[in-house]
Amino acid sequence: MAPSTSQARPAEPAPGYVEQLRTPWWWYLGAVGVALLLSLEFAVAVPGWLAWAPFVVLLPGGLLFVRRLSAGRIVVAAGTVRAGARSVAVADIEQAIDLTPLELRRLVGRHGDPLAYTYIRSWIGPGVQLVLRPPAAPPPGSESDERYPEPYWVLSTRHPDRLLAALAAATAPSAG
């Protein structure tokens, strides 16, 4: 029997928390309604087979647009928090704060820091603020270390309690 040439990949640790920031189901109905309305306007104005072209383009296009809005994810795994394309080490988070919908809107509005990283979805009310540790002062004569230029992150989440629990579990010292 020939030896196996495939190499076993190291198993990635299971994520402590994963949330898909999906749009509400009724947004798909709204997309279909808008697409039908626009398509019917074309159907009235254009004779023949061209009247069906807007239906073929706008219906799937509207549904794909709403589906694309649901592409946001928040993941806590392997000692990092990933929100979209950005990630931060859990060890670099100084404090995690549960936010009500009103506090979230204030924090991303005029009361927030313009340098903050915001990963919010308007259809999700509550959220979490992750205050990052300030970077250590660089030695004199060297360039500053700007790993995280933002003072904090603001994330939309339907389950802030679960996200905070996952962060607490990720920062707890492992036994054994």
CA–CA gap between residue 104 and residue 92 (Å, rounded): 21
Average pLDDT along the chain = 86
Same domain for 32 and 91, yes or no, is no
Indicate whether 38 belongs to any domain.
Answer: yes
User: Which pTM does this prediction carry?
Assistant: 0.77
* Interval 51-107: pLDDT, tens: 889 899 999 999 999 999 998 999 999 899 999 999 999 999 999 999 999 999 999
pLDDT at 46: 85
Which residues are 86's β-sheet partners?
A: 83
CA–CA gap between residue 71 and residue 66 (Å, rounded): 9
Give the max Cα distance, the chain. 75
Please say whether the dihedral angle defined by the alpha carbons of residues 71, 77, 78 and 84, taken in this order, is positive or negative: positive
Same domain for 126 and 89, yes or no, is yes
Same domain for 158 and 105, yes or no, is yes
Q: How many domains does the chain have?
A: 2
* Interval 11-30: pLDDT, tens: 555 678 999 999 999 999 99
Centre a 10 Å sphere on the Cβ of residue 57 and count the other Cβ atoms it contains: 14
